[in-house]
Chains A and B, each alone.
Chain A
Amino acid sequence: MVEPRLGHPNLGLGVGLRTVHFPYILEKHPPVDWFEIISENFIDSQGRPRHTLDQIAERYPIVMHGVSLSIGSTDPLDFQYLEKLKKLAGETDARWVSDHLCWTGVAGRNTHDLLPVPLNEDTLRHVCSRIETVQDYLQRPLVLENPSSYVTFAESTMSEWEFLTAMTEATECGLLLDVNNVYVSSVNHDFDPYEYLGHIPYDRVVQCHLAGHTHCGTHLIDTHDGKVIDPVWQLYREVHRGTGGISTLLEWDAQIPPFEVVHAEVLKAKLYMEENLPSDGPQTQGESTGEAVLPHPLHFVAPEVQ
């Protein structure tokens, strides 16, 4: 019998910690339930970012979310990176450590993109073996997110939900279900997002993500630059029903508005817990402006200088 959320608590409604919000959070101590950090922005920091994180971690639960583990890569795992993750997790009392089902580079290179893996038995075996190594090293279960993706492979023999289910059952890793990614990938790969959610082993879902995306006409790009659209909220309602309540986090990474706006957006999740519609009606999808739209991750901290 698996405990709900693999035994992790439901932290409530959280916000992705971004540097532009540092001053507001330190001054106002907003009543947000928890923060998720981009691990790579802090594991080497010896300046303002880390100092601020330490202050925030004293008041709020912290979850670490990485973009460079590259669990699906055929390159060797980077143990120096894992050591830093483990150290930061200990120092911030991170509730869990997550990353993505993806690879970010091979041959010693990092593309800084979350590239999809072909979904078949060979890849599954490869990924599971690496998850076990990482879990042994970190001495805690790893939590992996379904990425949004833009290609599928001829060599894939299973659906993403089949892969995720087999992966979590074989390794006992947790799942971070990104509801927006399910929607983005469903449009890009022509599948039914409700069928996807119908096959997710909800007791193994530790957390979910919400975000905005950009509609490019023929496909969607996971830009994290706007409000959550209504179809994604409807999927979230389904996830909430399936999990019975889950730590929920809003990511907003480009054109970031004031903290109150970001916080208000994630608080809308309450409406979908109570089977109510949002008071300000459905959101429309962000249309592409013709400028370059970038799928995430993009993480960079601008220096303060006099």
Chain B
Amino acid sequence: MQENKEFDLEKLQTWMQVVISHAGGIEAGIASEEAQREFEIAPDSLERIICRSNNLTSTERLGIYGNAYFARLLECLRESFPALAYALGDELFDEFSLEYLQRYPSQSYSLCELGGHFASHLQETRPDAEQRASGEIDWPDFLIDLATLEWNIEQVFDGPGTEGIPSLAIEQIEAVPPEQWSQMILRPGPSLRILEFQFPVNDYYTEFRQENKPEMPAPRPQYIALNRREYVVRRLEIEPLEYRLLERILCGNSLGDVIQRVAAEAEVPLEQFAELLQQWFQKWTTAQFFSSISSPQAETSID
């Protein structure tokens, strides 16, 4: 095999990637500093690198890849965040997405990872704090909440689940001997996620899916538990106190510790709290939030 000493594949690929992924288009890409570092070339000299065809110039041919780059990734983001795309409208969603793709270009072999930083990107690029403090604008929080919800739904859908494995039944909780109760630890199913929002984005998402064309809602805290049963993502609104309990349970704290801390913080009479707990355990087991209950000290597991 002959070797062409002049040829540098890495240089060519770096240049081509810069050019076709330039937000300003192919010609701006060719003229960009990054591309010029690889090849000092004017757009009208492109034939030194890319041949023309009978019908198209070199620039037009390279432009096919440039057009496809953003169009493909925008389509993927629209599929990942359909409610957010609706809330923003096509033009604004595309604008936000273009910014996002330049800041967080894909580094994964999978398109399923593409939207992983979208909510944090919205957080990082939100309008300044002064406007927020004065209450002039609140829509950034709504958008961030909505992006967070949609991303988590996607992760729960194709992440780990407990299909085919029995979940914890209320009878198993009731069977725990009273003297062991406070040391017991609830083990969540792998798909369980709890989310805290400043806006009722779960309601908005439901309205959107029912094609009811929802308007941006007024702010109201909303707490949501997501998990998956039979391969379908389930959304369940939970109460603020329930959220605090689940938050501590998911950290692996014992039930005694969780209940003591949350009851103290909530300033709820113990009797009332016990009643609420009973309702929630019933609700959580019906929703299949947990896989087992165990006592690390006694090394017993009731699952």
- A residues near B (Cβ < 8 Å) are 40, 43-49, 51, 68, 73-74, 78, 81, 103, 105-113, 115, 117-118, 120-126, 150-157, 188-190, 218-219, 221, 292, 294-295, 298-306
- Contact flag A300-B79 (CB < 8 Å), given A51-B163, A294-B71: yes
A157: nearest chain-B partner, CB-CB = B4
What's the dominant secondary structure at chain A's contact region? Answer: loop
User: 0/1 per residue, B149-177, Cβ < 8 Å to A?
Assistant: 00001101111110100000000000000
Q: Which residues of B contact A113 (CB under 8 A)?
A: 20, 65, 68-69, 72
B228: nearest chain-A partner, CB-CB = A47
Is the pair A219, B7 in contact by a Cβ cutoff of 8 Å?
Answer: no
Q: Which residues of B contact A153 (CB under 8 A)?
A: 12, 49-51
Is the pair B153, A292 in contact by a Cβ cutoff of 8 Å?
Answer: no
Is the pair A46, B159 in contact by a Cβ cutoff of 8 Å?
Answer: yes
| B221 CB within 8 Å of chain A | no
| The residue from A107, A190, A294, A298 contacting B54, defined by CB atoms under 8 A apart | A190
A50: nearest chain-B partner, CB-CB = B158
| B272 CB within 8 Å of chain A | no
Q: Which residues of B contact A306 (CB under 8 A)?
A: 232-235
Question: What number of residue pairs across chains A and B have CB atoms under 8 A from each other?
Answer: 175
How many chain B residues sit at the interface, stated as a range, is 35 or more
Query: Could you write out 29 A-B pairs with CB less than 8 Å apart?
Result: A40-B110, A40-B112, A46-B160, A47-B158, A47-B159, A47-B228, A48-B158, A48-B231, A48-B232, A74-B10, A78-B109, A105-B106, A106-B14, A107-B17, A112-B106, A113-B20, A113-B69, A118-B9, A120-B4, A126-B9, A151-B58, A153-B49, A154-B49, A157-B4, A219-B53, A298-B72, A298-B75, A299-B111, A303-B233
- Contact flag A111-B17 (CB < 8 Å), given A155-B7, A298-B76, A303-B233: yes
| The residue from B53, B109, B158 contacting A188, defined by CB atoms under 8 A apart | B53
Is the pair A109, B107 in contact by a Cβ cutoff of 8 Å?
Answer: yes
Is the pair A151, B50 in contact by a Cβ cutoff of 8 Å?
Answer: yes
B79: nearest chain-A partner, CB-CB = A300
- Contact flag A295-B68 (CB < 8 Å), given A48-B157, A122-B7, A305-B233: yes
| The residue from B4, B76, B157 contacting A303, defined by CB atoms under 8 A apart | B157
Instruction: Tell me how far the C-beta of A262 lies from the nearest C-beta in chain B, rounded to whole angstroms.
Output: 21
What separation, in Å, do the CA atoms of A106 and B105 have in the docked complex?
A: 12
Instruction: Tell me how far the C-beta of B211 lies from the nearest C-beta in chain A, rounded to whole angstroms.
Output: 15
Is the pair B9, A300 in contact by a Cβ cutoff of 8 Å?
Answer: no
What separation, in Å, do the CA atoms of A305 and B83 have in the docked complex?
A: 13
| B21 CB within 8 Å of chain A | yes
Q: Which residues of A contact B111 (CB under 8 A)?
A: 40, 112, 298-300
Instruction: Tell me how far the C-beta of A190 lies from the nearest C-beta in chain B, rounded to whole angstroms.
Output: 5
Is the pair B65, A151 in contact by a Cβ cutoff of 8 Å?
Answer: yes
* Sample of 16 more A-B contacts, CB < 8 Å, known A110-B107, A300-B112: A44-B158, A47-B228, A107-B14, A107-B17, A112-B76, A120-B7, A126-B9, A150-B62, A152-B50, A153-B12, A154-B48, A219-B64, A221-B64, A294-B71, A294-B72, A304-B231
